């Protein structure tokens, strides 16, 4: 960056923020974001909130409206205790994948921080939400608020009607299965006509609740098959109930012999929200990387253009540096790889590869090394990848060296841990593959599927856990979850572990 001219007419001077100043700063940021970086964002709705409201938002997984459940109260109590005793700070902002894109800014932020936060959330995250394929495919940004309102009202109504305890029981059980309540691949199957009628009935009373997500899922359901009741063979059941089924909540909602319609609707709400949040779990590195890259670029531009003072710039850089710090593995502060650090470094690296490629880069990234349009390359990456594929595709040897990454193999059969790869030519590909795997939710989360349930026989729900690399489920928790599952299914539930041959 060339020596910046001294700020001619800075947007603001001094730490206090006002709405007028924020308006000015936002306009300046928008100009760079849209015209220079070519971002494409939802309209922004920037809300200023207090610390207590931030804690509120924390407890409800960051959503502005949420149904009521004791676990949110528990999280609030814990976060509040941590915050009050100073053991945990609060985020500067929270941003919601919705249209308009809502971002919450803390009132305690200085004007410089508000500027940074706007660049980060209202443009960085916002662009990512709007353009990434996972969010486009799996979430409905325009409908989420209506759906949340529907969910909140529906559950409140159920509490009135069936009692707090009855609703709590269903919600507890549904929460326990939340990670198994998403469709990971492809589209959810189409319901049978019988199910369509049942769904219709359930929802008749709630027509007004305009749950767009409902309509969307239902309309994208796959095959529509009439069952053959006489033929109760295993294969017929498999066809009829779309087995094997990875989405346990979906399966229970459709096939549980015990659940009342309102209980099914609650399961549906929980899995809808799990599905809505699922893309965020898969794009932590990219999402934060994108937002951090955008804010870093924008504050540098603002400074170059003399729109912010040196003091403000320093304050922003200070905060930026803290955010992207990556402690090494033997540092007491180390707690895994910092998604901000990795994402930001990778995106900066992509820009570097476009602008100043080395021979190594040309060899590894022939597609875009030296491509003059680095903005286009980045936008394409933001739009079409998730963490796992992004790392697999874009992690460069240069970065592996910079982070000094190494792979530690922990094989329970061996007495010691073994360093299996280090940052050398022989190790780059393996490290890249191993790191990508660390971000693959399909690998991180247990693969549990419904494999059979004979409703005309013993009605036992058979689940299969496909064990990879000899990693089993945590026994204690597994029992607890199965208890919940039995409650929802009403009959026996069996979970079998099936080992697969290790792929290595």
Q: Binding to another protein (CB under 8 A): which residues in 171-190? A: 172, 175-180
| 350 close to 289: Cβ distance less than 8 angstroms | no
Give me the sign of the Cα torsion angle 241, 268, 165, 476: positive
Site string for another protein, 332-351 (x = CB under 8 A): --x-xx--------------
CB count within 10 Å of CB 360 equals 15
Helix (H) / strand (E) element for 370: namely none
Residue nearer to another protein on the CB measure, 3 or 412: 412
Distance, in Å, from the CA atom of 196 to the CA atom of 224, rounded to the nearest integer, reads: 10
| 309 close to 254: Cβ distance less than 8 angstroms | no
| 265 close to 93: Cβ distance less than 8 angstroms | no
Residues 246-305 touching another protein, rule: CB under 8 A, are: none
Minimum distance between the CB of residue 98 and another protein, rounded to whole angstroms? 14
**Taking contact as CB under 8 A, which single stretch among the options 20-28, 262-270, 275-283, 358-366 is the one that binds another protein?**
20-28
Residues 301-320 touching another protein, rule: CB under 8 A, are: none
Residue nearer to another protein on the CB measure, 87 or 456: 87
475 binds another protein (CB under 8 A): yes
Residues 6+ apart with CB under 8 A from 329: none
**End-to-end C-alpha distance for the chain, whole angstroms:** 47
What are the φ and ψ backbone dihedral angles of 37, each rounded to 5 degrees? Answer: -80, -20
| 390 close to 381: Cβ distance less than 8 angstroms | yes
11 binds another protein (CB under 8 A): no
Could you tell me which of 56, 52, 76 has the C-alpha nearest to residue 64?
56
Residues 136-175 touching another protein, rule: CB under 8 A, are: 164, 168, 172, 175
What number of chain residues touch another protein (CB under 8 A)? Answer: 99
Which of 49, 149, 166, 202 binds another protein (CB under 8 A)? It is: 49
Residues 188-207 touching another protein, rule: CB under 8 A, are: none
Minimum distance between the CB of residue 125 and another protein, rounded to whole angstroms? 15
327 binds another protein (CB under 8 A): yes
Residues 104-133 touching another protein, rule: CB under 8 A, are: 104, 107, 122
Q: The tokens 């190494």 sit on which residue?
A: 406
Which of 24, 31, 34, 44 binds another protein (CB under 8 A)? It is: 44
Distance, in Å, from the CA atom of 385 to the CA atom of 343, rounded to the nearest integer, reads: 12
Residue nearer to another protein on the CB measure, 107 or 496: 107
Distance, in Å, from the CA atom of 117 to the CA atom of 49, rounded to the nearest integer, reads: 13
**Taking contact as CB under 8 A, which single stretch among the options 295-303, 349-357, 368-376, 407-415 is the one that binds another protein?**
407-415
Residue nearer to another protein on the CB measure, 363 or 499: 499
Residue nearer to another protein on the CB measure, 43 or 372: 43
23 binds another protein (CB under 8 A): yes
Residue nearer to another protein on the CB measure, 311 or 446: 446
**Taking contact as CB under 8 A, which single stretch among the options 127-135, 187-195, 298-306, 467-475 is the one that binds another protein?**
467-475
43 binds another protein (CB under 8 A): yes
Residue nearer to another protein on the CB measure, 237 or 484: 484
Minimum distance between the CB of residue 424 and another protein, rounded to whole angstroms? 8
86 binds another protein (CB under 8 A): no
Minimum distance between the CB of residue 312 and another protein, rounded to whole angstroms? 19
Residue nearer to another protein on the CB measure, 215 or 419: 419
Cα separations in angstroms, 189 against 185, 195, 220, 230, 494: 11, 12, 8, 23, 24
Concatenate the DSSP letters of all residues of 316-369 into one string: HHHHHHHHT----TTSTT--S--HHHHHHHHHHHHHHHHHS--HHHHHH-TTTT
16 binds another protein (CB under 8 A): no
Q: Token pair of 374, please?
A: 């680095």
How does strand 461-467 pair with strand 493-499?
parallel
88 binds another protein (CB under 8 A): no
Distance, in Å, from the CA atom of 287 to the CA atom of 269, rounded to the nearest integer, reads: 25
Distance, in Å, from the CA atom of 230 to the CA atom of 239, rounded to the nearest integer, reads: 14
Minimum distance between the CB of residue 502 and another protein, rounded to whole angstroms? 6
CB count within 10 Å of CB 5 equals 10
234 binds another protein (CB under 8 A): no
496 binds another protein (CB under 8 A): no
Residue nearer to another protein on the CB measure, 18 or 200: 18
Angle between helices 387-394 and 428-438 (to 10 degrees): 170
Residues 6+ apart with CB under 8 A from 11: 21, 24, 25, 28, 115, 302, 307, 308
**Taking contact as CB under 8 A, which single stretch among the options 203-211, 308-316, 350-358, 399-407 is the one that binds another protein?**
399-407
Which of 201, 258, 362, 404 binds another protein (CB under 8 A)? It is: 404
Distance, in Å, from the CA atom of 345 to the CA atom of 339, rounded to the nearest integer, reads: 10
416 binds another protein (CB under 8 A): yes
Site string for another protein, 442-461 (x = CB under 8 A): --xxx-x-------------
Residue nearer to another protein on the CB measure, 112 or 122: 122
Helix (H) / strand (E) element for 279: namely helix 261-282
| 47 close to 103: Cβ distance less than 8 angstroms | yes
């Amino acid at each position: 960056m060339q020596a910046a001219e001294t700020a001619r007419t800075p947007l603001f001077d001094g730490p206090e923020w006002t709405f007028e100043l924020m308006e000015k700063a936002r306009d300046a940021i928008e100009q760079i974001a849209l015209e220079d970086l070519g971002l494409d964002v939802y309209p922004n709705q920037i809300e200023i909130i207090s610390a207590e409201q931030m804690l509120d938002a924390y407890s409800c997984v960051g959503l502005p409206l949420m149904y009521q459940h004791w676990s949110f109260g528990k999280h609030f109590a814990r976060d509040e205790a941590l915050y009050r005793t100073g053991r945990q700070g609060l985020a500067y902002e929270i941003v919601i994948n919705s249209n308009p894109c809502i971002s919450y800014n803390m009132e305690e932020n200085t004007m410089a921080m508000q500027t940074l936060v706007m660049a980060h959330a209202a443009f960085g995250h916002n662009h990512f939400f709007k353009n990434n394929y996972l969010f486009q495919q799996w979430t409905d940004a325009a409908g989420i608020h209506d759906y949340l309102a529907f969910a909140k009202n529906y559950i409140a109504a159920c509490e009135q009607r069936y009692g707090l305890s009855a609703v709590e029981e269903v919600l507890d059980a549904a929460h326990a299965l939340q990670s198994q309540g998403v469709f990971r691949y492809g589209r959810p199957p189409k319901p049978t006509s019988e199910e369509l009628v049942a769904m219709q009935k359930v929802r008749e009373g709630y027509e007004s609740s305009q749950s767009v997500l409902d309509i969307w899922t239902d309309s994208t359901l796959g095959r529509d098959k009439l069952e053959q009741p006489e033929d109760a063979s295993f294969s017929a059941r498999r066809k009829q109930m779309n087995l094997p089924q990875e989405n346990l909540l979906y399966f229970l909602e459709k096939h549980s012999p015990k659940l009342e319609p309102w209980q099914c609707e609650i399961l549906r709400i929980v899995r809808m929200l799990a599905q809505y949040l699922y893309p965020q779990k898969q794009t932590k590195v990219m999402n934060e990387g994108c937002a951090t890259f955008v804010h870093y670029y924008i504050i540098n531009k603002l400074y170059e253009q003399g729109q912010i003072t040196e003091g403000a710039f320093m304050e922003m850089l200070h905060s930026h540096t803290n955010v992207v710090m990556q402690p090494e593995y033997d540092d007491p502060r180390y707690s895994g790889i910092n998604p901000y650090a990795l994402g930001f470094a990778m995106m900066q690296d992509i820009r570097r590869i476009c602008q100043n490629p080395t021979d190594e880069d040309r060899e590894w990234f022939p597609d875009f090394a030296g491509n003059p349009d680095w903005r286009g390359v980045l936008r394409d990456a933001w739009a079409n990848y998730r963490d796992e594929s992004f790392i697999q595709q874009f992690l460069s040897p240069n970065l592996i060296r910079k982070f000094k990454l190494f792979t530690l193999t922990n094989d329970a059969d061996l007495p010691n841990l073994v360093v299996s790869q280090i940052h050398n030519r022989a190790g780059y590909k393996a490290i890249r593959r191993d790191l990508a795997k660390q971000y693959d939710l399909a690998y991180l989360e247990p693969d549990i599927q419904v494999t059979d349930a004979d409703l005309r026989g013993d009605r036992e729900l058979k689940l299969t856990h496909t064990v990879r690399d000899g990693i089993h489920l945590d026994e204690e928790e597994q029992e607890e979850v199965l208890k919940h599952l039995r409650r929802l299914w009403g009959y026996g539930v069996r979970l079998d572990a099936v080992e697969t041959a290790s792929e290595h």
